[in-house]
Amino acid sequence: MTGRLAANARVVAALGTRSVRQTLRRPQLLAPLILFPTALLAIQTAGAGRAVDLPGFPPVDNFLSFMLAGSIVQSVMFTGNSGAIAFAIDIEMGFTDRLFAAPISRYAVVLGRLAATATLGAMIAVYFIVLGLIFGAEIKEGLPAAIWIVVLTSTSALAFGSIGAAIALRTNSASVVQGIFPLVFVILFLSDAFFPANLMLDPAAWIAQYNPLSFIVNGIREPVIDGWHLTTQLKAIASVIGIGAFGLLLCEGALRGRVRRGV
């Protein structure tokens, strides 16, 4: 039992390393995860920076401190989507079939891909924290908050990636997975990733109050601009667990479906 677990852990580590290297070696895969959210962060911070003067805007040192969490989550969602596209390409090209034919757990194959997404999520969090600190953001709760942001971002990436992986497993098509990319923006705009929900317009403002993504964003944002609040962090953790559990259940269903169909 322990031996099988160790073997599966090795498979997860090997496949995870392969996927991380695959992303880092291809600038066209890495660029959308980093360049686009960075450009939007720079433009929106300078373009809507005066928003901090609006009545009802939470007290912040600057708009960059507020926006940082939104950009991290945006980048993480892109990472989940991009990981799912790479997984779908592996399925299209028959690489995953060869892995499924090997004497290893099918779940380990999926977890390997998700481990890579989680690792990239952690790297993204570090990148945005450093970027924010260079350009004038301040993390109120210091180093513990920075570490917490990396953990929350990494687990969020895994959770979002699991939904993408399930779609890849079910459809076997990279273009279908790519097709859900605009949905990422819809979910982002319907959360308070870029602006406080109380200052957004309805119906987006109403949806943002209940969008699990808002809870994750606030879990990252509060230690940066305000301080620790147990309720906020519990909501963030519950959201990550909920999205992750939903995604993994979908993956499990998709894997069972493949076995039934003999794929």
Partner 1 sequence: MSWRADVATVRALVRRALNEIFRVPGAAIPGILAPTIFFLGLTSVFGSLTLLPGFTTSSYQSFLIPISMLQGAGFTGAATGVNLARDIEQGWFDRLLAAPAPRPVLLAGLVLSASLRSLLPATFLLAVGLAIGVHWPGLLGLLIALFLVMGMAVVAATWGTSLAFRFRTQSAAPLMQIGMLLAILTTTAYAPQHLLTGWLQTVAKYNPVTQVVEAARQGFVGSVSWSDTWPGLLTLFGLAAILGFFALRGMRRMTID
**Binding region for partner 1 (CB under 8 A):** 28, 31-32, 35-36, 39, 42-51, 53-55, 63, 182, 185-186, 188-190, 194-195, 199-201, 204-205
Q: What is the DSSP letter of 53?
A: G
Residue with tokens 């957004």: 200
Minimum gap (Å) between residue 22 Cβ and partner 1? 16
Using alpha carbons, select from 260, 253, 259 the residue that is nearest to residue 167: 253
Answer whether the bond into residue 37 is a cis peptide, omega within 30°. no
Q: How far is the CB of 181 from partner 1 (least distance, A)?
A: 9
Q: How far is the CB of 194 from partner 1 (least distance, A)?
A: 5
Q: Where are the alpha helices (DSSP H) in the chain?
A: 2-25, 27-47, 63-92, 95-101, 106-134, 142-171, 174-179, 181-189, 204-210, 212-225, 230-261
Least distance in angstroms from the C-beta of 174 to partner 1? 15
**What is the closest distance, in whole angstroms, from the C-beta atom of residue 175 to partner 1 in the complex?**
10
Q: Virtual CA dihedral for 192, 193, 196, 201, nearest 10 degrees?
A: -50
Residue number with CB closer to partner 1 (85 or 104):
85
Place of tokens 């169909």: 261
Nearer to partner 1, 53 or 134 (CB): 53
Cβ-based nearer residue to partner 1, 48 or 131: 48
CB of 101 to partner 1, least distance (A): 32
From the list 46, 227, 34, 32, the residue with the least C-alpha distance to 136 is 46
- Is 217 in contact with 201 (CB distance < 8 Å)? no
Collapsing DSSP states into helix, strand and coil, what is residue 243? helix
Q: Which is nearer to partner 1, 187 or 248 (CB)?
A: 187
Query: Please, which residue, 63 or 215, has the CB nearer to partner 1?
Result: 63
- For 229-248, give one letter per residue: b (16+ CB within 10 A) or e: eeebbebbeebbeebbeebb
Beta carbon nearer to partner 1, 35 or 151: 35
